[in-house]
Amino acid sequence: MNKNYQNLVHRLEEISRLKGVMSIIQWDQEVIMPIGASEARANQISALAGVIHERMTDRRLGEYLDELSAQRNGFSTFEWRNIEEARREYDLMTKVPGQLVQAIAALSSRGHAIWVQARRENRFVDFAPVIKEFLELKRAWAACAYPEKTAYDANIAVFEYGTAAAEISVVFDQLKETLIPFIHELKHHTYQPDVSILQGRFPLEQQAALARRISEDIGFQYDKGRMDVSVHPFCGGSHPTDVRITTRYNESDFIESLYAVIHETGHALYEQGRMPDACDLPASESLTMGIHESQSLFWERMIARGRGFCAHYFETICKTFPDNLQGATIDNFYQAINACRPGFIRVEADELTYPLHIILRFEIEQDLFADNLSVDDLPEVWNAKMKQYLGIIPPTDTLGVLQDSHWSSGAFGYFPSYTLGAMYACQFYKALREALPDTESNIAAGYFAPIKDWLNDNIHRQGKLYTPQELVVRVTGEPLNPQHFIHYLKTKYAAIYKLNAF
Amino acid sequence: MNKNYQNLVHRLEEISRLKGVMSIIQWDQEVIMPIGASEARANQISALAGVIHERMTDRRLGEYLDELSAQRNGFSTFEWRNIEEARREYDLMTKVPGQLVQAIAALSSRGHAIWVQARRENRFVDFAPVIKEFLELKRAWAACAYPEKTAYDANIAVFEYGTAAAEISVVFDQLKETLIPFIHELKHHTYQPDVSILQGRFPLEQQAALARRISEDIGFQYDKGRMDVSVHPFCGGSHPTDVRITTRYNESDFIESLYAVIHETGHALYEQGRMPDACDLPASESLTMGIHESQSLFWERMIARGRGFCAHYFETICKTFPDNLQGATIDNFYQAINACRPGFIRVEADELTYPLHIILRFEIEQDLFADNLSVDDLPEVWNAKMKQYLGIIPPTDTLGVLQDSHWSSGAFGYFPSYTLGAMYACQFYKALREALPDTESNIAAGYFAPIKDWLNDNIHRQGKLYTPQELVVRVTGEPLNPQHFIHYLKTKYAAIYKLNAF
């Protein structure tokens, strides 16, 4: 093997392993750590972050990359992608001055605390200066990191490399055009699903056992992962052989935790399914946030919110909670967990209203970066868009513009990934059904192995070998096409709401 | 503050924090990690170990130390101890060639696997070459690390800096002289404690609740620590605000897990009690293995195996396990948990026979390093000493020379710390009773706070400010004196066994 490439591999592996260590101590902080250890842990994380930063920006790493980039020939696709990805990361890390990186990190930490209090006290005015300062810093960061991109596109690139706001706009406009009137129609339709059947008391122990069983059924490998409890559900871990999902349990709502587990299991299957024997190299890593989200939403929505899945598990669910769901049918259950109910809170939104929460945020971010919107006007604009898109106005900013943590840590450009993921999931599912026509009956029979295998082969093991755009074409035969998503939603919801004509 | 000292502090803090991270991922490996992650975790540990080694041997650290050592004046005791300890660590790390360090690490890993199998199959002959190779490497290591010491003393210094084998021999000989005939006398005495009262089935959940309560009663702070389950009980964690003890539960023996928890709590109280605001600097760290063990044994033996403790908790224990201990009295219980029963296995030994297990190992190690004993003769020598000291001969090497893991990882010189710790604990306890005459009645009343406070003040917060020898004199008014330990054991056991004359 090429000596420079070998040196590069050693350095990339070391960085990947140190990042794995970081993931574990962050997981530990969220799930396990005694509260009194916060300060010590912050110091430990900062020490390790310093080491990782030093390794990622090491001059010798740059020299290897320079020499390897100049060669170009004689590398396999996998090797070349490792070089390219390492190059991109290195450039990104070295182009931005350390002082700016530190200023952003300091503001993230301060901004989060300010946001927590502003949200609690419904005081947007306290949080506005944080957003303003972030916009300044993030513009400066964008000018260093991706001088060829607009500031917003540069921020999107952190999460969704290769996708620009202009492309997202085209897609999101199609969604808006259909979803706004469709949601309005459903809201005023005579037939409505009966969501009251989901009410009751659901003992936590039974919820946990059910969630564990279903996550195992769909393919989560517990010898290479864990499930625990945390304040916010997430998928973490340190390696494809150590993938850790979390959930939280609510005694009056088992759907929330069960579907959170299925969602996180989808993320986990991506990680557990990555190409073996190369796990510490960048080309084996997950592609983008949007593709990651496509995997969680694939299982949560395309599979688990489908009628076949409900049919398969309905009896088990009824047996798990014998005091509840009395007299309900599979269809009652299926309709109830899919009811469309415009609400203020993004994370509680259904499949149909969720994209509008995202589009609202995307448009606001775009306007903020383009200087078409003043931060001080944010609450007003937020509420006007909520009225326009979902027909409701948040009574407080806590339930409106202050609800998400993303901006408090400077994660601008993150939101579009959620809905890109939903559209990718839908398009992948269509391709899966074409490739494996038995999919619907397999789901109804609780036989998920072929689905997982197909995702492993077509997506998980592809790592970063292709861009999301290339991958979608390879897997589905065409570029991202929002009409599949629109068709899926309209068909599904027309049936649930018994619309006469569609 | 002196600029060089400030630089030193920054570097030492970074090293301490990275070591804290290492402790967490090692704890995670023992307690939490999915089994499939072993290989990935080994790589992560190795990457982090490489970083820590690099930091600890950094040339600039050596330069700061050179300049600071040359100054000497103007430092507080605490500052000067940090400089001295950092100097000692740095010298140790830089004097031993990397190749030798790697050879020892490689043999530890290989040796452990060989030992596991040899022990399972009762084949000492398979393990003997590991010991031979270790003796070679450890002699070479000693010549680099502590050229002024004998090879065995150099190995002892890793665990018990400042104590030489010659001093240990003097103390151990006094123990032998008394304990061997005393144990013989007890064994053949007519009155024997009734240990059958401890038999029964003890549900794990109740055991865990009892252990948690008692560990909290004696002072373990659960907001700065955790208790979990692992294969072997240990005390780990990453910082005095993050101290993690583990135990294991055996349904047919609640004493084993309860006293393991109390033992580990003793270690934990040392860590949680370290000087505040300086936790990331070496002078704040625990002193030696022997002093650490003195803290675990202080609580396990001096407190929890005492009659007052038994009196206080007897009713609680009976209520916890209502189907057991029927008709037993406090004295039955106190006698049963203290019964002297010579056995093959060190970790199951009582207070009286434990020192002889240690002395046997110490003498063997001393002879091995002095070339007075061939490795091939180890099983024979082991069994002869067991006969001489405890009157029993192990039927297999698995129950004899192969029982401990220490030699498989090259931890020669570790064993003496256990019994040094027991003697320190006894002498500290005597000093505590003199300082706080209400101690016995406080224990019987379950009032442990003054004891913990006294240990915090006199030992935990003293860190590495003094040598163990200095500390013992400061706390107890005299050097380590095995006669206190002998007197304690003889008095206690004469009463338990109702010996006529003592």
Question: pTM of the full predicted structure?
Answer: 0.94
Residue A3 structure tokens:
């000596």
Separation in Å, CA of B225 to nearest CA in chain A: 6
Which two structure tokens, joined as six digits, stand for A466? 């292709």
The mean pLDDT value for B292-302 works out to 98
Displacement of CA B258 from its chain's centroid (Å): 17
Identify the sign of the CA torsion A270, A273, A279, A283: negative
Closest residue of B to A33, CA-based? B242
Taking CB atoms and an 8 Å cutoff, what residues of chain A touch B280?
A: 43
By C-alpha distance, the chain A residue nearest B17 is A44
d(CA B242, CA B116): 31
How many Å lie between the alpha carbon of B492 and the closest alpha carbon of chain A? 39
Any chain B CB within 8 A of the CB of A305? no
b vs e for B35-66, b when ≥16 Cβ sit within 10 Å of the residue's Cβ?
A: ebbeebbebbbebbeebbeebbbbeebbebbe
What value does the mean pLDDT take over residues B319-332? Answer: 94
Residue A161 has a pLDDT of 92
Q: Which pLDDT value is given to residue B478?
A: 97
Residue B79, C-beta contacts closer than 8 angstroms, at least 6 positions apart: B5
How many CB atoms within 10 Å of residue A247? 26
- What is the pLDDT confidence band of residue A72, given thresholds at 50, 70 and 90? confident
SS3 A445: coil
Average pLDDT taken over every residue of chain A = 96
Sheet containing B235-239: give its strands across: B225-229, B242-247, B235-239
Q: B427-463, pLDDT tens digit by residue?
A: 999 999 999 999 999 999 999 999 999 999 999 999 9
B70 residue type, one letter:
A
pLDDT in tens, B262-296: 999 999 999 999 998 888 999 999 999 999 999 99
Identify the H or E element spanning A237. Answer: strand A235-239
Q: What does the mean pLDDT of chain B come to? A: 96
Contacts by B115-119, CB closer than 8 A, 24 or more apart: B115/B402, B115/B405, B115/B407, B115/B408, B116/B408, B118/B402, B119/B398, B119/B402, B119/B403
Predicted local distance difference test score (pLDDT) of residue A501: 59
Q: Give the Cα separation of B3 and A241 in Å (integer).
A: 46
CB contact under 8 A, B221 and A36: yes
Q: With a cut of 60, say whether residue B238 has pLDDT above it.
A: yes
Q: Note the pLDDT tens digit of each residue in A76-104.
A: 999 999 999 999 999 999 999 989 999 99
pLDDT at A1: 65
Take residue A361 and report the two structure tokens written for it: 């945020």
Complete DSSP assignment for A390-424:
HS---SSSTTTTTS-SGGGGT-TT-THHHHHHHHH
Does B24 reach chain A within 8 Å, measured CB to CB? Answer: yes
Task: Give the ipTM of the model, two decimals please.
Answer: 0.93
Each residue's pLDDT tens digit, A402-461: 999 999 999 999 999 999 999 999 999 999 999 999 999 999 999 999 999 999 999 999
What's the Cα-to-Cα distance from B423 to each of A160, A329, B179, B314, B434, rounded to whole Å?
64, 72, 14, 27, 17
3-state secondary structure of A45: helix
CA distance A273 to A451: 12
Contact B224 A36 (CB under 8 A): yes
Contact residues for B99 (Cβ-Cβ < 8 A; gap 6+): none
Nearest by CB to A242, which of B13, B14, B40? B40
Phi/psi at A239 (nearest 5 deg)? 180, 155
Going by the DSSP 8-state scheme, the letter that residue A325 receives in this structure is: S
What's the confidence (pLDDT) of residue A109?
A: 87
Q: How many CB pairs under 8 A join A and B?
A: 117
pLDDT digits over B82-128, tens only? 999 999 999 999 999 989 999 999 999 899 999 999 999 999 999 99
Q: How confident is the model at residue A359 (pLDDT cuts 50, 70, 90)?
A: very high
For helices A378-390 and A124-145, give the axis angle rounded to 10 degrees.
90
At B235 the pLDDT is 96
Using pLDDT thresholds of 50, 70 and 90, give the confidence band for residue B501: low
What are the Cα distances from residue B88, in Å, to A174, B56, B81, B282, B469?
69, 11, 10, 11, 18
Domain ranges of chain A: 3-159, 199-342+438-464
* H helix and E strand count, chain B: 20, 3
pLDDT at position B34 over 60? yes
Among left, alpha and beta (phi > 0; psi -120 to 50; other), residue B122 is left
Q: What is the mean pLDDT of residues A17-35?
A: 96
Residue with token string 């970081």: A22
Q: How far apart are CA A437 and CA A411, in angstroms?
A: 40
Question: Per-residue pLDDT tens for B364-407?
Answer: 999 999 999 999 999 999 999 999 999 999 999 999 999 999 99
The answer to whether A294 touches A485, Cβ cutoff 8 Å, is no
Question: Which residues in B lie closer than 8 A to residue A229 (C-beta atoms)?
Answer: none
Question: How would residue B21 be classed by pLDDT, with cut points 50, 70 and 90?
Answer: very high
Look at residues A367, A165, A135 and name the one whose alpha carbon lies nearest to residue A143. Answer: A135
Rounded percentage of chain B residues whose pLDDT exceeds 70: 99
pLDDT at B471 over 70: yes
pLDDT above 70 (res A400): yes
pLDDT digits (tens, 9 = 90+) for A152-199: 999 999 999 989 999 999 999 999 999 999 999 999 999 999 999 999
Cα–Cα dist A185/A190, whole Å: 10
